[in-house]
A and B are shown apart, each in its own frame.
Chain A
């Protein structure tokens, strides 16, 4: 079974803090994704990576950056957290670029 693990289920941060959300997959998948989930908006793609050190912007990249130094790990970075970044963040991975995506359990981030 594919396992996608997000390091934290819940996080509470202060406005202006630098926040790291970590995601690890154990299936040697090439592609990894970060989504944001908000009520009434569904899931929206923030960034994705199709290889180590490669990244592409999704639909809502503003205020976020990503890092992929190793194949199995994909980090989402909020350089200076703001209250409008309070949300559920979901990481996913897939073997091929157009393929089934497997999701982690999510990190619920609150920015106060």
Chain B
């Protein structure tokens, strides 16, 4: 069975600080997808990124970056120069590919950016 662990339940940082959200996953399968979603106070989960198990390249999108390391089974998410609008709950998730449509979610990290 798959498992996703987000050990940080809550994080608070002052605006403009950098912050890293940790995600550790467990699976015996060699092909899978990893995801990050953002859930702002409005409630809707917003897709941020998908990464497949064959692609360990780090990705950067504006102030967001993701570090995927298969050696440590981690898929960490860094926000640079945080802003108040980044305050949300962030979820990491895993799905097996190509045959399992289920997303296995972590328990989420609540990020609060203090102005």
A residues lining the B interface (CB < 8 Å): 9, 31, 33, 40-45, 48, 50, 58-59, 88, 90, 92, 94, 97-106, 108
Contact = CB atoms under 8 A, between A and B. Distances in A.
B44 A45 contact: no
B102 A42 contact: no
Interface of B: 4, 9, 33, 35, 37, 42-47, 50, 91, 93, 95-103, 105-108
B44 A42 contact: no
Contacts of B98: 98
B33 A98 contact: yes
At the interface, is chain B mostly helix, strand, loop or mixed? loop
Given A90-B45, A102-B47, A103-B44, A42 B101 contact: no
A97 to B, nearest CB: 4
B42 A42 contact: no
A42 B91 contact: yes
